[in-house]
Structure 1
Amino acid sequence: MKRFGLSLAALFFAALVSQLSFSSPAEASRPPVIDSYIVKDLGYSRVFMQKDTSRLIRPASLTKILTAVIALESGKLDQVVVISPEATGVEPTKAGFRPGDRILLLDLVKASMVNSSNDAAFAIAIHLSGSVEKFVRAMNYRARAIGMKSSTFTNPAGFDTGRYTGNYSTAEDLLALTEYAIHNPLFNEITMLESIVVRDKRSGRYYLLRTHNKLLARYPYAVGIKTGFTRSAGKCLIARARKENRDMLLVMLNAKGDRWTMAEEMFEKAFAAPASSLSRYADADGTVQGGSEWMHGGRIE
C-alpha cells in the first residue's frame, strides 16, 4: 500500500514537471500586453515601434510631468510654498506634508516627480494659480501650446475618478510633452534621482522620499523619467535610456504584466536595430515594427 502511494506521488510529480516544461516556452514567446505604446530614437527622430498611439487612455501620474513643466518654467522655484490643508487632503501616494509646512517650490517639483507625491502636485497648483481649478486651465492651455492635441487634464496629480473623471491623454501626446520637457536640463536631473530629502523650513523636519521607478536600479542605461498607476489607468511608464550614443524614449500605457521587464526588452530590441531602419523595422519573422504590433519574444502612484 505504501509502495502504491509512492508511485502515485511520483506520477503526479512527473506530470507536473512535464506540464511546466511545455508551458514555459510558450509563455516566454507571448508578446507583452500593453494598451498603447511608442518607442522613439531621439537622435534620429524615428519611431521604432508603436501601437494605438492616438488612443485616449488615463495617464495616471504621468500627468505630473506637465505639472512639473509649468512649475519649472514659472521662474518661482526659489519661492517658499505654505502647504494648505487642501493639498494634504489627497489620496496616497504622498510625501506626508502637514498644513503649514513651508517647502521650496523646487523641492515640491522633485517630490512630485521622484516620489510621485500627490500632495506636492496639489501644493504646486495652489501656489502658482491660487486654486486647483485655475491651474487645470493653465495645464490644458499649456498642453495645447506644446502640441498635445487630444489630452484633457482635470487635476495636477493624475487622479481619474470621481470629481476628477475625464483626465485623459494619448501616447503620442505624452511623447510630445516629454520631448518638450527634456530640453530643460533641470527636468532631466530631477527625473534621474532615486531619492530626495525635503526640509520643512518652519519646523526643520526632514522628509526622505524615494522613487517608484524601479527601472533606474534595474536597467543600467535608464536615465528617467516617470511612473504612473491607478486602478483605472493600470501600470504606466515613460522611460528614457541611453546606450552607445543612442537615445531612446518609451511611452507605455496600461501595461498588463511586469512593466520593468517589458521596458528593458523594448529598449534592447530598439538599441539592437540598425539606426537606418528605425522608421520601419522588420524582425526576422517578418513582424513589422512601426505598425501596431510587438515583435514576438517579449493606489495612484
Structure 2
Amino acid sequence: MKIKIASFVLAFFLLDFSIGKFLEQGLFRYYGLRTDSKIAFVGHSHLMLGLDKKAIEDELKIPVSKYTREGVNVAERDLMIDQLSEENPELEIVVYGVDAWMFTGEGLSANSYKLFYPFLDQEAPAAYVKKEAEFLDYWQHKLIKTSRYNEGLISSSFRGYLNNWDNLKFGVVDTLQLKLNVESGNFRQINSSEENRRIFEETLQKLKEMGKRVILVYVPTISYYNHAEPEKFRKELNYFRSLADKDSNIDYLEYLEGWEDQFNYFFDPIHLNPVGQKAFTSSFATDLKKILQDGTS
C-alpha cells in the first residue's frame, strides 16, 4: 500500500510539473519574456488592447515584448519591469502605458497579485506574492504548479504557442448610455494617490539607472470620460508632459486630440476595439520609428 501511495504521489507531481512547465513556457512566449527583444510594452488592458504587437514588429523589423496584464497597478508594473530586465538582457526601451486614472488604484483588482502565480519559481514574483497572499494560499500554489493557472492564464499560454495577440474586444461603445452614466456620476473618477505616483517615479528612476530609455504613451480614451473631470484630467496630462520636459531619458506620446471623438474606435470608455487598435498602432509605429531614428519625440 505504501508503495502504491508513493507511486501515486510521484506520478502526480511529475504530471503536475510537466503540465506546469508547458503552460509556463506558453506564457513566456505570450508576454515576450526570455527573448532577445530590445523594446517592451508594459501596462494593463488599456495598452494591451491598444497596440498590435505583430504590426509593430513588422514595421520596426525587430522583436518586441508585450508584457501587459489586466488590472495591474503601478506596483505590479514595477515588478513586471523587474522581470523583463532580468529575463530579457537585450532590453533597451520600455514603452509604459499611462492614463489619467493610473494613480487612482480604485477599480483595479485587489487580488491582482494572483496574476503572478505562474512565476513563483522566480525570486521577485515569489517574494511579491508571498507578501500579498495568505500563508496556505501561497504554499498551495508554490508546491502545485497547475494550481497557478486560471482560465485566463491558460488561454494566454495557448495564445503564446499560437502566436496570437489579437484584440478580441469586438463591438462599439454605447455613447448614449455612456453620456447618461457620466451625467449621473456613474463613472470611474480620478482620485490620484501620491503613494502610487511615488512608486511610478521610482520605477522611472530605476529604469534610468539601468540605462533603459522610457517612452510614456497615452493610448486614446474617449472624450466623455476625458471631459467628465476636466481640471483633474488636465492636471494628469500636464504631469506626464512635465516628466518628459524634465528628463531627456523620457519621451511622452499623447494620443487624444483627433482620437477621443472617434467613437467607432472604442469598445468602452478606455479600451480600443480592433478597428481602433489598427488605426492607433499605425500612428504609434510611425512615431516610435521616428524616436528610434533621431532620438527626439
Length-normalised TM-score, structure 2: 0.29
Greater per-residue strand proportion: 1
Length-normalised TM-score, structure 1: 0.29
